[in-house]
Amino acid sequence: AIPVRSSRLPLLSDAMTAPAHLYPLIRNCEISRLCSTVCYCHHRHLCCLSSHFAHSHFRCAPQKKFAALCRPKEDFNYFFHTRDYASTPQRFYLTPPQVNSILKANEYSFKVPEFDGKNVSSVLGFDSNQLPANAPIEDRRSAATCLQTRGMLLGVFDGHAGCACAQAVSERLFYYIAVSLLPHETLLEIENAVESGRALLPILQWHKHPNDYFSKEASKLYFNSLRTYWQELIDLNSGETTDVKEALINAFKRLDNDISLEAQVGDPNSFLNYLVLRVAFSGATACVAHVDGVDLHVANTGDSRAMLGVQEEDGSWSALNLSYDHNAQNEREVERVKTEHPKAEEKSLVKQDRLLGLLMPFRAFGDVKFKWSIELQKRVVESGPDQLNDNEYTKFIPPNYHTPPYLTAEPEVIYHRLRPQDKFLVLATDGLWETMHRQDVARIVGEYLTGVHHQEPIAIGGYKVTLGQMHGLLAERRARFSSVFEDQNAATHLIRHAVGNNEFGTVDHERLSKMLSLPEELARMYRDDMTIIVVQFNSHMIGACQNEEL
C-alpha cells in the first residue's frame, strides 16, 4: 500500500504526465548542470503515505522504519549521474510566452470599487498567485470582504501530508472568523432565518480564482458545524463588543476542534467519512490578515509569513515582520512547547529541529496524530474505512508520545496600526521565504508598484563582472520591460524573481526556464509550493484618518 520511490530517476517517457515537449532540457546532459545551479529545498522528505496521500510532504524527518522509502539529499547526485545521456548537448528552453503561460496560470487580481470617484477603503486591491511544486499543489489561498461587519480577510494556507486539511481550512476559516465578529443581534437574525427557512444574510463576498474551488459534497456538514458554533455564541452572549484579536483566536481554535470532532464522530456517507478523516490526519498552517480601516491584525499558525512593505523618507524600502515562525528556530516557541509538558520529556520534545523529531511547524490545523491520545487514534483508525486502516502512516504512532496534545492551532495575533508609509502587505507560504529574504521581497514589490526599477542602477554585489556579462545584464533588463515580460500582477512578478533570480538579483530567463521545465518528480526537490498575496494600501485614506485624529 506504500508507494516506494524508484532507485533510479525514470526516463521522461516513463513518468511524465505533462507534455514531453516542455522538458527536453532534462535530457542531453542538461540535468547535471542544472543541479549545480539551483537550490535544494532541504527540509521536507517523507514518502510514507499510501496512494491516497501520494505526492504529499509531511515536513517530517524520515524514521528508520521508512528508511527504504526516503532518499537523503546526498543520494540525488548519484541518481543524476547514473543515467546515460546523449553526448551532444542540445539546449532547449521555454520561450518567454511559455514561461508567462505557466507563471500566470493561477494569478488573480481584485481592485476595491470606488464610490463617487473616491476609494473609501484602506485597501486599494490585491494580487495573488500560486506556483505548484507538488502535484497536486498542497497550498491554498482565500480572500473575502466581510459584509455584515467591516473589513477584508486574506489568507494563505500551507498543507502537508496532502492538501485535504489546507482545502478545508481555506473554505471554512473565514466563515468562523466572520461569525466570531458578528454582533449578537445579527447572530439571532441569522439563526431565526435558518429556523424559518428564510434566505440567509450573506456573510462574505469571496474573491476567488476559478481554480480555487469549494467542496460541494461537504457543504452541509460544514454548515451544520458552523451553525452549532454561532448557536453557542448566542447562548454565551456577554453584551460586550467583540474584540478582533479574541475573535481570530476563537475562530482558529474552534475550527480545529470541529475538524477533530468530525473525524471522531464520522459520517454515514462513505465519501464524507473518508474526507473528514483525510482532513484530520493531514495538516495545514495558516497566515490570515484582517484589514479594517487603519487596523491591521495578522493571525499566524505555523511557518507562513506576513510582511509589511514600508517606504522610507528617502524612497528606499524596508520590511516589517508581522508574524513569527512557529518552529525550532523560534526560541520562544520551543520554550512554550517545553512548558506544556513534563520536564522528563524535555529532551524528546524537539529533535533535529522537529516536534517529536517529526514535524517542522509547532502549530497547525489537523495533524491529529500529534493531538489525539494513542487509544483514540487506534479506535478511529480501526473503525475507519479500509483506505485508512491499510495506511502505514495513519497507524504509525510518533516516538516518545506520552502527554498529548503536542500541537495546537491557536494563532499568534499581531496588531499594527497602518501609517501612510505602509504601502503593501505580503502574505506568503514558506515556499517564498525559503528562496528570498524579506528585505529583497520588500524592495522588489516596492519597485514594481512604483516603477522605480526602470531607472535603478544594476548592483553586482562585489562580484567581478566582465564587460560581456554586464552587457548581458543590461540586455536582460531592457528585454524585461518589453510587453512579453511585463507583469500585470505583483505576486506573479515576485514569483518570477523567486524562481529565476541569479546571483546579481536579476531574473535569468535561462534559469527560470529550467526551473519551470522540471517534471513533477524533480520539481519538489528544488522548491516548495509557492502561494503569495500582495495587498496594496490606500495611503491617502490612511493619511486622512491619521490627520483627523491629530
- DSSP 3-state of 57: coil
CATH fold for the domain made of 96-454+486-548? Phosphatase 2c; domain 1 (3.60.40)
Condensed to tens digits (0 to 9), the pLDDT of residues 403-435 reads: 999 999 999 999 999 999 999 999 999 999 999
Residue 536 grid coordinates:
496594496
CA count, 13 A, side-chain hemisphere, 495: 36
Q: What per-residue confidence (pLDDT) applies to 386?
A: 78
- Report residue 162: phi and psi, to 5°: 110, 175
Q: What per-residue confidence (pLDDT) applies to 1?
A: 39
Condensed to tens digits (0 to 9), the pLDDT of residues 281-340 reads: 999 999 999 999 999 999 999 999 999 999 999 999 999 999 999 999 999 999 999 999
Task: Look at 22 and 195; give whichever has higher pLDDT.
Answer: 195
| pLDDT > 70: percent of the chain | 76
Range picked from 180-194, 464-478, 505-519 for highest mean pLDDT: 180-194
Has this prediction a pTM greater than 0.85? no
Statement: residue 479 has pLDDT above 70: no
Domain boundaries, the chain: 96-454+486-548
Among 17-31, 265-279, 393-407, 456-470, the minimum mean pLDDT is found in: 17-31
Task: Look at 120 and 409; give whichever has higher pLDDT.
Answer: 409
Stretch 142-154: mean pLDDT: 95
Residues with Cβ within 8 Å of 329's Cβ and at least 6 positions away in sequence, in order, are: 353
Statement: residue 41 has pLDDT above 90: no
Q: Are 427 and 533 in contact (CB under 8 A)?
A: yes
Statement: residue 73 has pLDDT above 50: no
Q: What per-residue confidence (pLDDT) applies to 458?
A: 52
Condensed to tens digits (0 to 9), the pLDDT of residues 358-371 reads: 999 999 999 999 99
Stretch 460-480: mean pLDDT: 62
Q: What per-residue confidence (pLDDT) applies to 318?
A: 97
Q: What is the dihedral sign for C-alpha 68, 71, 76, 78?
A: negative
Q: What per-residue confidence (pLDDT) applies to 131?
A: 96
